[in-house]
């Protein structure tokens, strides 16, 4: 009896988990009603779900149901280009985050309310971190909303740090406005960039009173923009109104002489200059209308003084 009890003590019998589990739960030891490979299959399925959950939100694997909170478009398409699409990525895959640490902000694409909110938040953040260091704003924009651009302008004026502005590619409309409203002496342009200024664009529809209200609003924005650009460039308001009546494109050299920028990256020697042509390029609306009507010597061509007569070849008849 002692040996039997000792043998029993050496080899204890592990009771089944179903013996102490509640009867309402289905026993996991009931291998008769469930195949033995079923728990292993469930484990593999749960592991696949864990792997798929660690993937980005908008890149579901094949056969996995997308997350119910997934967006209809990729996140990278709704975020402005100066914001990273995924904040959990490493620093090597986040160039805009690295540039933001160097106090560099990008304005690329149209000036929208969403882009303006992002730029304003970055300006205020960098200014709160260190107000003694300049903030660089790189601009490559065809323009956009006037109210959104005025929001960025007000944030630039609110910052204690100086805002350096740089033009890459094209700075048109509100892009040119933000370019010239940077800190005096710290407005730059790349040698092959283009700058364009014009008056505000808009439209109205509805009843006569509604159209009158919208017309007064756009005229207010026109006068306000001309006033600020006059202070930034040093040009009279009359000159600003005449030059912005239509699209006015400028090279970096013309923009520097106009007062929109202060410096050209690489110096004036890096700017492409047209030589060998004595005809001056138009500077005002009247010159644009009459452009091309003069010869190289400055005199008006005869082909514009009288209409050209049609040339007819005499008909030869047989004698």
Token pair, residue 73, equals: 């478009």
DSSP state at residue 247: -
Helix/strand number for the chain, H first, E second: 11, 7
Lowest mean pLDDT among 77-86, 94-103, 229-238, 262-271: 77-86
- Looking at per-residue pLDDT, the higher value among 299 and 144 belongs to 144
pTM of the model: 0.61
- Report pLDDT digits (tens) over 14-48: 554 444 444 444 444 444 444 555 545 444 444 44
Q: Is 255 helix (H, G, I), strand (E, B) or coil?
A: helix
Tell me: pLDDT of 276 over 70.
no
Q: Is 111 helix (H, G, I), strand (E, B) or coil?
A: strand
91: left (phi over 0), alpha (psi -120 to 50) or beta: alpha
What's the N-to-C CA distance of the chain in angstroms?
152
CA 163 to centroid of chain Cα atoms = 18
Looking at domain 94-275, its CATH superfamily turns out to be: 2-enoyl-CoA Hydratase; Chain A, domain 1 (3.90.226.10)
Token pair, residue 295, equals: 């010869």
Catalytic residues: 173, 198
Instruction: Share the mean pLDDT of the chain.
Output: 73
Mention every residue, 6+ apart, whose C-beta is less than 8 A from residue 148: 111, 112, 113, 115, 116, 174
Residue 13 to residues 4, 7, 25: CA-CA distances in angstroms?
Answer: 14, 11, 23
Q: What is the mean pLDDT of residues 169-177?
A: 96
Number of C-beta neighbours around residue 210 at 10 A: 11
What pLDDT does 315 receive? 55
Distance between CA atoms of residues 308 and 185, nearest Å: 53
What residue ranges do the domains of the chain occupy?
Answer: 94-275, 276-308
Token pair, residue 276, equals: 């060998």
Strand partners, 164: 136
């Amino acid at each position: 009896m002692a040996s039997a009890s000792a043998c029993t003590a050496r080899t204890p019998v592990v009771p089944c988990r179903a013996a102490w589990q509640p009867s309402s739960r289905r026993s996991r030891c009931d291998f008769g009603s469930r195949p033995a490979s079923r728990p292993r299959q469930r484990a593999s399925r749960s592991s696949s779900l864990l792997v798929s959950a660690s993937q980005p939100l908008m890149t579901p694997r094949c056969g996995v149901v997308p997350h119910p909170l997934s967006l209809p478009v990729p996140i990278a398409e709704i975020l402005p280009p100066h914001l990273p699409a995924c904040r959990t990525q490493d620093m090597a895959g986040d160039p805009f985050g690295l540039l933001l640490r160097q106090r560099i902000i990008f304005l690329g694409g149209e000036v929208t309310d969403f882009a303006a909110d992002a730029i304003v938040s970055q300006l205020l953040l960098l200014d709160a971190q260190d107000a003694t260091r300049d903030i660089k704003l790189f601009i490559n924009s065809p323009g956009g909303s006037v109210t959104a651009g005025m929001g960025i302008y007000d944030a630039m004026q609110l910052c204690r740090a100086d805002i350096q502005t740089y033009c890459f590619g094209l700075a048109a409309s509100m892009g040119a406005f933000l370019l010239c409203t940077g800190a005096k002496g710290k407005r730059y342009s790349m040698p092959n960039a283009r700058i364009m200024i014009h008056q505000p664009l808009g439209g109205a529809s509805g009843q006569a009173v509604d159209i009158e209200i919208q017309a007064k609003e756009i005229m207010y924005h026109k006068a306000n923009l001309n006033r600020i650009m006059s202070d930034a460039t040093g040009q009279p308001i009359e000159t600003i109104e005449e030059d912005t009546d239509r699209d006015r494109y400028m090279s970096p050299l013309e923009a520097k002489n106009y007062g929109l920028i202060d410096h050209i990256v690489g110096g004036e020697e890096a700017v492409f200059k047209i030589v060998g042509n004595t005809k001056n390029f138009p500077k005002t609306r009247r010159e644009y209308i009459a452009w091309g009507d003069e010869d190289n010597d400055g005199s008006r061509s005869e082909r514009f003084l009288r209409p050209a007569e049609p040339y007819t070849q005499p008909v030869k008849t047989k004698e």
